[in-house]
Amino acid sequence: MKHPTRKATTHVNQNEGLIFEKSSAGKAAWKLPPLDVPEVDTSKLLGSSERKDLGNMPEVSEIEIIRHFTRLSTWNYAIDLGMYPLGSCTMKYNPRVNEAVARVEGLANRHPYQPEKISQGALQILKTLSECLIDITGMDAITLQPAAGAHGEMTGLLMVRAYHHAQGRPRKKILIPDSAHGTNPATAAMVDYAVENLKSDSRGMVDIGALEAQMNEDVAALMLTNPNTLGVFEQQIHKIADILHAKGGLLYMDGANMNALVGKVRPGDFGVDVMHLNLHKTFSTPHGGGGPGSGPVAIKKILEPFLPKPVLVTKTDGTLGFEYDRPQSVGRVRAFYGNFGMFVRALAYIQANGPDGLRQTTEDAVLNANYIRKGLEGTYDLPYSTPTMHEVVFSDKLQAKKGVRTMDIAKRLIDYGFHPYTTAFPLIVPGALMIEPTESESKEEMDLFIDAMKSIAAEVEEDPQTVLDAPHSTRVSRLDETAAARKPVLRWKPASK
């Protein structure tokens, strides 16, 4: 490339077919111990329910499986390899001690229905994590049951809905800023609320005037992300809360961006009634290629009766247990007690940090975002000059003149050894470049990122085609997503059939 990068190069990389293409009858990666009870006659036991054939399931050996997945893994980018500046995703370091403690025998391999009296260890973890998250958010109570952020949103809105019902005046709609993440409106729809868009003002914050105008007795709640998806802190936050509360509405906060606030300010203190957290963002549990996550929902007292059941309680004898008799509960949102393994990791993260570490973490996250903003301001268009917290959003306005869009720049970043930033939203910024470095990036790594972005901007001027054709250094070039959607091939089929 014209502008050589100090960050990456290319290296020989193994090809690998689909596992089915390696299968051959008689190969096996399994062996069962001898049966210590009598064999049984399957057909006698199962009759017509007996399965005879497992179709095209593969038959391969252990070494082939190790190589298959090891080779596949080398085709991925990962936090462990470098900066992963996806805005709103908070791709921070995933500590290895979290993985180690999550695998401790008595935590990894115990059944959710074993008697509470022999489950005090796990329950103690739920309790301690709950207390930590309650103090971090400044709320009064919490449920750890939701499996992810969106699931937490649903749980939160269900409580809002139950609350208004209990008040005897159910409401119809949820206000959602146009800068919101897609799960917010999708969630509102799932719990049968109408979605009403709320527009942002010129500084990228909630338009107070519009809010006052749109707020009425039909509005169940406002779903606000704070800092919002522009990385901007809603400075009028308390005014917003007042407007809602004045008309009996509730303030829901999408806590996806808590990485900008932990230890510095608490949503509970600025008027939030209900919020979710993403343990897989703020609290360092790994994204694992898309999940699992965990989306605890923290609430104010007024919503406590509506918590999903069961609720963790300390019993009269001082031991911990679950309370199932919760007449006003919205009910269960999933089986068992939530993604326990993520609770272990999140608590380990909190313990490794302590109060000082958490505060420093937040400060570094905000420092990093501002450093990148400073480094790229001028090179890329900054649609909102409002102060930046944990992430900064540029637009491709300048590059678009040359026909280069945010996705092209993103793909080009790959050649420079980085994972792209977020391009999908916020919708209020056409051609958005949404960049969140998190606290886990060193100055060295960020300087390389800034260099890369500047170098790409220069390429856009000198030879845009190089950028439009990117990536050039990957084992596959840009993939045809349109074709994939037009004639979906969603599974492998044997050539013969």
Contacts with ligand PLP by CB under 6 A lie at 88-89, 148-150, 181, 183, 225, 229, 254, 256, 278, 293, 295
| Phi, psi of 400, deg, nearest 5 | -60, -30
Q: Which is nearer to a second copy, 349 or 425 (CB)?
A: 349
457 binds other proteins (CB under 8 A): no
Amino acid at 185: P
489 binds a second copy (CB under 8 A): no
Q: What is the DSSP track for 365-420?
A: HHHHHHHHHHHHBTTBB-S--SPPSS-EEEESHHHHTTT--HHHHHHHHHHTT---
Could you say which of 4, 109, 325, 327 contacts other proteins (CB under 8 A)? 109
Least separation, in Å, of the C-beta of 118 and ligand PLP? 32
CA distances from 29 to 25, 26, 58 (A): 12, 10, 10
Q: Which among other proteins, ligand PLP, a second copy, none contacts residue 225 (Cβ within 5 to 8 A by kind)?
A: ligand PLP
As given in the structure block, the two tokens for residue 396 are 């491709």
Residues 421-460, one symbol each (x = binds a second copy by CB under 8 A, - = not), give -------------------x-x-x----------------
User: What part of residues 215-234 is at the interface with other proteins (CB under 8 A)?
Assistant: 232-233
Least separation, in Å, of the C-beta of 58 and a second copy? 13
CA distances from 345 to 79, 100, 125, 196, 297 (A): 17, 9, 10, 37, 17
Long-range contacts of 169-173 (CB under 8 A, 24+ apart): 169/217, 169/248, 171/217, 171/218, 171/219, 171/220, 171/249, 172/218, 172/219, 172/220, 173/218, 173/219, 173/220
User: What part of residues 130-159 is at the interface with a second copy (CB under 8 A)?
Assistant: none
Could you say which of 63, 485, 489, 495 contacts a second copy (CB under 8 A)? 63
From the list 328, 65, 61, 369, the residue with the least C-alpha distance to 231 is 369
Least separation, in Å, of the C-beta of 289 and a second copy? 16
Helix (H) or strand (E) holding 142: strand 141-143
378 binds other proteins (CB under 8 A): no
Least separation, in Å, of the C-beta of 85 and other proteins? 11
Contact window for other proteins (CB under 8 A) among 81-89, 212-220, 243-251, 396-404: 81-89
| Phi, psi of 329, deg, nearest 5 | -60, 150
Least separation, in Å, of the C-beta of 190 and ligand PLP? 12
Q: Which is nearer to other proteins, 228 or 395 (CB)?
A: 228
Q: Which among ligand PLP, a second copy, other proteins, none contacts residue 166 (Cβ within 5 to 8 A by kind)?
A: none
187 binds other proteins (CB under 8 A): yes
Name 145's Cβ contacts closer than 8 Å, sequence gap at least 6.
Answer: 155, 308, 332, 333, 334, 337, 338
167 binds other proteins (CB under 8 A): no
Q: Which is nearer to a second copy, 92 or 402 (CB)?
A: 92
Q: Which is nearer to ligand PLP, 224 or 456 (CB)?
A: 224
94 binds other proteins (CB under 8 A): yes
Amino acid at 123: L
23 binds a second copy (CB under 8 A): no
Q: How many CB atoms lie within 10 A of CB 458?
A: 13
# binding residues, a second copy (CB under 8 A): 39
**Cβ pair 393, 426 in contact under 8 A:** yes
276 binds other proteins (CB under 8 A): no
# binding residues, other proteins (CB under 8 A): 209
360 binds a second copy (CB under 8 A): no
Least separation, in Å, of the C-beta of 82 and a second copy? 6
167 binds a second copy (CB under 8 A): no
Torsion of Cα atoms, 375 then 358 then 80 then 476, to 10° = -60
478 binds a second copy (CB under 8 A): no
- Give the sign of the dihedral formed by CA 264, CA 265, CA 266, CA 267: negative
Name 396's Cβ contacts closer than 8 Å, sequence gap at least 6.
Answer: 380, 381, 404, 405, 406, 409, 431, 432, 433
191 binds other proteins (CB under 8 A): yes
As given in the structure block, the two tokens for residue 13 are 């990389």
Tell me the C-alpha distance between 48 and 45, whole Å.
9
In angstroms, how far is CA 59 from the centroid of its own chain? Answer: 35
Q: How many CB atoms lie within 10 A of CB 182?
A: 11
Q: Which is nearer to a second copy, 61 or 370 (CB)?
A: 61
User: What part of residues 458-477 is at the interface with other proteins (CB under 8 A)?
Assistant: 471, 474-477
313 binds other proteins (CB under 8 A): no
Q: Which is nearer to a second copy, 84 or 380 (CB)?
A: 84
| Beta strand pairing call for 194-198 and 141-143 | unpaired
114 binds other proteins (CB under 8 A): yes
Least separation, in Å, of the C-beta of 212 and other proteins? 19
Q: Which among ligand PLP, other proteins, a second copy, none contacts residue 57 (Cβ within 5 to 8 A by kind)?
A: other proteins
As given in the structure block, the two tokens for residue 76 are 């991925």
User: What part of residues 74-133 is at the interface with a second copy (CB under 8 A)?
Assistant: 74-75, 80-82, 93, 95-96
Can you give the binding site for a second copy, defined by CB under 8 A? 6-15, 22, 31, 61-64, 66-67, 70-71, 74-75, 80-82, 93, 95-96, 352, 414-415, 417, 440, 442, 444, 471, 473-475
